[in-house]
Structure 1
Amino acid sequence: MRYVKPLSLFQDVLMAHTKKKGRLLGLDVGDKYVGLAVSDSSNKVASPLSVLLRKKTNIDLMATDLQSLVSEFSLLGFVVGVPLDRFRSPNRDAVQMKVFIDELSKTGKLEGVCYTYWEETFTSKNVELLLQPLTLHSVVAKTIMDKFAAMGILQGYLDYANKKQRSESSE
């Protein structure tokens, strides 16, 4: 896996898009779960996908699952949510998320996949507030929250990148 700047990832996807359709995967990395969301083929709309159980002992299995998703959805890159504190600096959770990405990279199973970071502040909180009136079982609510948080991360990224792309095209 290789880190690229946010707009570079989108430009790479657009360039590859002329040859083949490519999509993006949003990741909301938590202590216990990793929420996943996928973009549509035009990279304009994000949809919740699933949740992976995260343990220190299953990083190889998670890499295999992500490798399968790369193939199944023609993924060209990952958009990984990074939490920021009130001073807009990465917080403690951001350090753990970066460790997770490093561990995934070390498996060697995701060679050629690019990733970038995107701010995820309040994505989980927003979903939590939406789910509050539904009185769901805590495990179900957590699963829904994680994949919808991933969707919020990816949709925020897609909205920004598409807007930036349109403004550069009109100049």
Structure 2
Amino acid sequence: MKYVKPINLFHDLLKTNNLGQGRLLGLDVGHKYVGLAVSDPSNKIASPLSVLVRKQSNICLMAKDFQSLISELSLIGFIVGYPFDNQRNTPDAVQVKVFVEDLRKTGKLEGLRYTYWDERFTSKSVELLLKPLNLHPVHSKTILDKFAAVGILQDLSGTSSSKAAADLA
């Protein structure tokens, strides 16, 4: 896995999309679960995908799941939600970095690029939308994690694609 700046990932994506391929996977990394969302082939719309259980003991299994998704969905990169803050070492920020580093150490995702995107309010926004539905807590948590990942991808697509287009003009 190789870290790249968001704008560089989008420049590469714009080049790749001329060939008609290259989707992004959004990750909302939590202490117990990782919510996943995938972009459409044109990288304009994000859809919820699934939620993976996150344990140190299953990191190799998760890497294998990601390998399958890369192949099935023609993924070119991961957008990892990161709680940017003035205090860079918050517990949430540290656990996101640890997760990415653990994935990288498996060696199963070589060549895959990833970047971080600010996700401070994605979970809270989804939580506020779900509250009136009075869902079972387990069902609500699953939906929250997937749609937080959707929020990360949608936010990135709306912001960076316009920046990338402006840079190319």
- 1:168 and 1:93 map into 2 onto residues whose CA distance is 32
Relative to structure 1, is the Cα distance of residues 53 and 99 closer, same or farther in structure 2, using a 3 angstrom cutoff? same
Residue by residue over 1:139-166, the C-alpha shift from the partner in whole angstroms, topping out at 9 and shown as x without a partner, is: 1000000000000011101111111133
Q: 2 CA distance for matches of 1:167 and 1:88?
A: 31
Aligned to 2:144: 145
2:125 aligned partner, one-letter code: N
> How far apart, CA to CA, are the structure 1 residues paired with 2:39 and 2:133?
26
Task: Write out per-residue CA displacement over residues 65-115 of structure 1, whole angstroms, 9 at most, x where no aligned residue.
Answer: 111100010000000000133x37452211111010010011111111000
Q: Please tell me whether the aligned partners of residues 83 and 90 of structure 1 are also in contact (alpha carbons under 8 angstroms).
A: no
Name structure 2 gaps, 5 residues minimum: none
Contact 1:82 1:90 survives alignment (8 Å): no
Provide the rounded CA distance (Å) in 2 between the counterparts of 1:128 and 1:101.
25
- Could you tell me how far 1:37 is from its partner in structure 2? 0.5
- What is the CA RMSD across the aligned residues, in angstroms? 1.3
Q: 2: CA distance between counterparts of 1:105 and 1:15?
A: 25
Map of 2:129 onto structure 1: 130
Counterpart for residue 76 of structure 2: 76
% identity of equivalent residues: 62
Structure 2 partner of 1:166: 165
Q: Which residue of 2 aligns with 1:49?
A: 49
Give the aligned partner of residue 101 of structure 2. 102
Superposed structure 1 runs of 4+ greater than 6 Å apart:
none
Structure 1 segments unaligned to the other structure (5+ residues): none
Report whether the alignment pairs 1:114 with 2:92: no
The number of residues matched between the two structures is 169
CA distance in 1, matches of 2:156, 2:103: 22
